[in-house]
Structure 1
Amino acid sequence: MSNLRFHSPAPLTIGEQVPLSDNAMAHAVKVMRLKAGDTLTLFCGDGFDYQCALTNIEKKSAWVTVLGRTLVSNESALKIRLLQGISSGDRMDFTIQKAVELGVTDIYPIHTERSVTKLSGDRVEKRVEHWQGVAIAACEQSGRALVPVVHPPLTLVQWLVQHDTQTSLNILLNPVGAKKLAELPPPTGHIQLLIGPEGGLSANEIAAASQHHFQSIVLGPRILRTETAALTALASMQTVWGDF
């Protein structure tokens, strides 16, 4: 028996046989030493967990039979879109991982004037694929059955032009902001949270966001690192308005 939980890139149907992904196969069979007849859980992003039994194990593949499914009801009532200024090194991975654990629905990597990491060409597709993998792994760990989408990077101006900011609560972390989170009205639709990279947003970017209905807020008297700022804001929203 096992309580292991893995993502399936393919849709799941009760009664069918499906192959495990390479990562799931390696962990379940090679690391955990599961045998035919042992059970595990798969999810494919449709909101359900699927109970499965290992039925066929080969040298480089493993198959399971889908036995049943259970609706997963752990999604936050808050629909938070994170607009994260692209940060360097492991910071972006850490931010995406923890943001998924804290309930975001979408992640938009944002090219900003002060972003240290610059992506172009094939690097963009590979990095987005990597970030999406980080989000999937966070869902495996946290029990979420709906997988947040990591979107292709845009500049802030491109994002503002392409998205509606009139019907959502738009929040910008700004050390010189005049409001605290608790002073904002409770959200009735989506929340769009904009976080700058290591060097913060430029004055031009703050002005552009403000023109598109983003409100500046502060999270205490101390200046937070980019990864700390995003996670502190998300946890604060879940505390004030959400399910904490």
Structure 2
Amino acid sequence: MTAPVFVVERFEPDGDRYVLEGAEGRHAVSVKRLRPGEEVVLTDGAGRYARCEVTGTEGKDRLLVRGEPVAEEPAPSPRITVVQALPKGDRGEVAVETMTEVGVDAIVPWQASRCITQWKGDRGLKALGKWRATAREAGKQSRRVRFPEVADAATTKQVAALLARADFAAVLHESGTERLATAPLPTEGEIVLVVGPEGGVSPEELALFAEAGATPYVLGPTVLRTSTAGTAATALLLARTGRWS
């Protein structure tokens, strides 16, 4: 088993001893029941991390560790961003969880015209908070030290602007005549992929995205739910760009 990952708010300059407390410390001491001599990884979730050895515990929520010098994982290239239309129920968290585990770099919630779910007011803020918390927990579970960014919910015009800046822009859609598995991909820069809602991307949205330079592609012969399409596509892109090699 690889060492479990825990999040720290910051690393002390030139420090090699840390105290993990609060919710993270409680999970380490009372749930994981870590003991002296075991290994852990501390990270800020933004690429900085330190491999550490447990030296002791205090009470039920304080883990004492001694660490190696802080290192930084390089930002991956090409960067993969998935624009995820809002699914119904908890399928949004499922999508975020599995895309994070696979290795996506950024997720943009999208209020598509055919989305049944609406993020408005406090409800929208609560839902966004759940997506971000899910990305954090899935990042820890999958032993990542650079968690995916979960942006504020975007409008269709904002998504089009994001696509226009991308080095490769694609929309997963049944109208595509080409497969994502054979699309020409950049070796660096940013890949942006749009995953529509269960009701599909509207003709007006497709037209706007096409103007922004996005091409419609299909994944394969089967139809995937919106909550699984992004994960499957991300895995394909990670393999094709060499990030999984």
TM-score range, shorter chain: 0.7 to 0.9
Report the AA paired with residue 199 of structure 1. G
> Percent of pairs identical after alignment?
28
In 2, the alpha carbon distance for the partners of 1:74 and 1:166 equals: 22
How far did residue 94 of structure 1 move? 1.3
Q: Which runs of 5+ in 2 are unaligned?
A: none
| SS class of match (2:194) | strand
The number of residue pairs the alignment matches comes to: 239
Moved more, 211-220 or 124-133: 124-133
In 2, the alpha carbon distance for the partners of 1:166 and 1:37 equals: 48
In 2, the alpha carbon distance for the partners of 1:64 and 1:123 equals: 38
In 2, the alpha carbon distance for the partners of 1:237 and 1:219 equals: 11
Q: TM-score if structure 1 supplies the norm length?
A: 0.86
Matches of residues 148-167 of structure 1 in structure 2 within 5 Å? Answer: 148-161=148-161, 163=162, 165-167=164-166
Shift in CA distance, 131/226, structure 1 to aligned 2, threshold 3 Å: same
1:20 counterpart residue number: 21
Matches of residues 182-197 of structure 1 in structure 2 within 5 Å? Answer: 182-187=181-186, 188-197=188-197
Q: TM-score if structure 2 supplies the norm length?
A: 0.86
Q: Which runs of 5+ in 1 are unaligned?
A: none
In 1, the alpha carbon distance for the partners of 2:202 and 2:160 equals: 15
Q: What does the per-residue CA deviation read over 1:24-53, in whole Å, with 9 as the maximum and x for residues that have no partner?
A: 233222223335675532211242432153
Shift in CA distance, 18/127, structure 1 to aligned 2, threshold 3 Å: farther
2:170 counterpart residue number: 171
| SS class of match (2:93) | helix
In 2, the alpha carbon distance for the partners of 1:142 and 1:69 equals: 22
1:57 counterpart residue number: 58
Shift in CA distance, 92/47, structure 1 to aligned 2, threshold 3 Å: same
Shift in CA distance, 140/74, structure 1 to aligned 2, threshold 3 Å: farther
Q: What does the per-residue CA deviation read over 1:92-140, in whole Å, with 9 as the maximum and x for residues that have no partner?
A: 1111111112221111000011112111112222222221111111211
Moved more, 119-128 or 74-83: 74-83
| SS class of match (1:154) | coil
